[in-house]
């Protein structure tokens, strides 16, 4: 649905961490990029009416709702942006697509494979009517990673043989950190695996242009019980009482993988790496070269060209800030660095551009399902003591 004057009305569900990042992106996209449609921050939705109203004023939204179903009947909403917990994704996305609204859904796509399959089916029904959908793996919009994908696609690495990826955080190492929704299976689906492991699974498949076909995994929950939110300081919005509750998701996941093309992979996702705040690193080794990326050096890509003379060969540091690099021309002069928030702006730019061009955005809900299948296989393997689990199509 396109509004008057070439606008695209956005209705967003959720206003916490991801909601703030997405709000910034929608506010910024049309001010730095020449967009075919102007994003209009029409309405912000959250369960707590007063808190949602305050967030809408702070984040730049014109109005607020406390029931996401109201977004589906509003004429000023053409796209529903889902930034709420995983247990809500399927219901909101399917209803929105069936109502003719484009959808952007945060990762992981769903909490289960069954929910993800239903979302893909809804996306396919909607696409036949020109209604588009995308899952929000925002790291695909880091300029250095887009450049890395280009190098792989151009054959600069040759045949990819190894992928090693790690995503390390430490924000729940304190055993008195409360039992928030991300630590409960019924709302989050899984723990570090789905929260940050999903990112490196998608990144590995995106960079290689290949898919994982099987995994062998271990998971662990180091802190089995935590204070309920009210007992830990009265976090607003909690319906829990005082006391402690069981942590029902993983704290860490380690797994091996094999790609369809034969490459071997290792993955590590943990929220218990003390001192690591948001440390994501991925390296690919091929028959002709290697590349490596570290999120803590977001504007840089390491590249080794194995065809060069051995006397001068070595890993080179590419500073990805030239106007010829992906997305960068819209921003600052060379050497002036971009940050984490820019990835969400690039995501919004690509989605709006694809909607206007009447083409399917990427990553699609089908791409999100492919990641969900990997997460499911990891959980099955870990439950079986680490045995090999194939990943279905």
Q: Please give the chain's pLDDT, 393 residues, in tens.
A: 555 559 999 999 999 999 999 999 999 999 999 999 999 999 999 999 999 999 999 999 999 999 999 999 999 999 999 999 999 999 999 999 999 999 999 999 999 999 999 999 999 999 999 999 999 999 999 999 999 999 999 999 999 999 999 999 999 999 999 999 999 999 999 999 999 999 999 999 999 999 999 999 999 999 999 999 974 444 433 344 569 999 999 999 999 999 999 999 999 999 999 999 999 999 999 999 999 999 999 999 999 999 999 999 999 999 999 999 999 999 999 999 999 999 999 999 999 999 999 999 999 999 999 999 999 999 999 999 999 999 987
From the list 156, 151, 160, the residue with the least C-alpha distance to 307 is 156
Q: In the 3-class helix/strand/coil scheme, how is the chain assigned residue by residue?
A: CCECCCEEEEEEECCCHHHHHHHHHHHHHHHHCCCCCEEEEEEEECCCHHHHHHHHHHHCCCEEECCHHHHHHCCCCCEEEECCCHHHHHHHHHHHHHCCCEEEEECCCCCCHHHHHHHHHHHHHHHCCCCCEEEECHHHHCHHHHHHHHHHHCCCCCCEEEEEEEEECCCCCCCCCCCCHHHCHHHHCCCHHHHHHHHHHHHHHHHHCCCEEEEEEEEECCCCEEECCCCCCCCCCCCCCCCEEECCCCCEEEEEEEECCCCEEEEEEECCCCCCCCEEEEEEEECCEEEEEEHHHCCEEEEEECCCCCCCCCCEEEECCCCCCCCHHHCCCCCCCCCHHHHHHHHHHHHHHHHHCCCCCCCCHHHHHHHHHHHHHHHHHHHCCCCCEECCC
pLDDT at 5: 59
Specify the pLDDT at position 92.
98
Domains, the chain, ranges and CATH? 7-139 (3.40.50.720), 142-362+370-383 (3.30.360.10)
**pLDDT score, position 235:** 40
Report the distance separating Cα 251 and Cα 169, nearest Å.
10
Residue 2 pLDDT: 57
- Neighbour count for residue 159 (Cβ, 10 Å): 11
- Quick check: pTM over 0.85? yes
Question: What is the per-residue pLDDT for 345?
Answer: 98
Measured at the alpha carbon of residue 130, what is the angle toward residues 127 and 131, in degrees to the nearest 5? 65
Burial class (CB in 10 A: 0-12, 13-18, 19+), 170: middle
Q: What pLDDT score does 230 carry?
A: 74
Residue 89 has a pLDDT of 98
Confidence (pLDDT) at 3: 54
- How many angstroms separate the CA atoms of 57 and 288, rounded? 53
pLDDT value, residue 31 = 97
**For residue 282, what are the β-bridge partners?**
165, 293
């Amino acid at each position: 649905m396109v509004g008057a004057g070439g606008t695209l009305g956005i209705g967003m569900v959720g206003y916490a961490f991801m909601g703030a990042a997405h709000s910034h992106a929608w506010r910024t996209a049309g001010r730095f990029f020449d967009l075919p449609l102007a994003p209009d921050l029409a309405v912000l939705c959250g369960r707590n009416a007063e808190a949602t109203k305050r967030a809408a004023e702070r984040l730049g939204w014109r109005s607020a709702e406390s029931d996401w179903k109201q977004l589906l009947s509003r004429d000023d909403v053409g796209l529903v942006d889902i930034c709420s917990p995983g247990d809500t994704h399927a219901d909101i996305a399917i209803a929105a697509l069936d109502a003719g609204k484009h959808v952007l859904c945060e990762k992981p796509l769903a909490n289960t494979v069954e929910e993800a399959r239903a979302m893909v089916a809804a996306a396919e029904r909607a696409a036949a009517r020109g209604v588009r959908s995308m899952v929000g793996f925002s790291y695909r919009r880091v300029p250095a990673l887009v450049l890395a994908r280009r190098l792989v696609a151009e054959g600069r690495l040759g045949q990819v043989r190894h992928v090693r990826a790690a995503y390390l955080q430490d924000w729940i190492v304190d055993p008195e950190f409360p039992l928030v929704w991300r630590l409960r299976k019924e709302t989050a689906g899984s723990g570090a695996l789905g929260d940050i492991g999903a990112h490196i699974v998608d990144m590995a498949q995106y960079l290689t242009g290949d898919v994982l076909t099987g995994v062998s995994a271990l998971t662990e929950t180091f802190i089995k019980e935590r204070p309920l939110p009210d007992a830990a300081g009265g976090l607003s919005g909690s319906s829990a009482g005082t006391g402690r509750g069981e942590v029902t998701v993983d704290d860490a996941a380690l797994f091996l993988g094999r790609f369809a093309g034969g490459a071997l992979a290792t993955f590590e996702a943990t929220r218990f790496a003390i001192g690591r705040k948001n440390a994501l690193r991925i390296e690919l080794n091929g028959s002709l070269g290697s590349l490596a990326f570290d999120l803590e050096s977001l504007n840089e890509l390491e590249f080794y060209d194995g065809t060069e003379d051995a006397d001068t060969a070595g890993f080179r540091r590419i500073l990805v800030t030239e106007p010829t690099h992906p997305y960068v021309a819209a921003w600052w002069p060379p050497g002036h660095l971009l940050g984490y928030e820019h990835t969400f702006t690039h995501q919004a730019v690509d989605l709006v551009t694809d909607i206007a061009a009447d083409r399917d955005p990427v990553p699609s809900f089908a791409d999100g399902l492919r990641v969900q299948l990997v997460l499911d296989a990891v959980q099955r393997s870990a439950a079986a003591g680490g045995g090999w689990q194939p990943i279905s199509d």
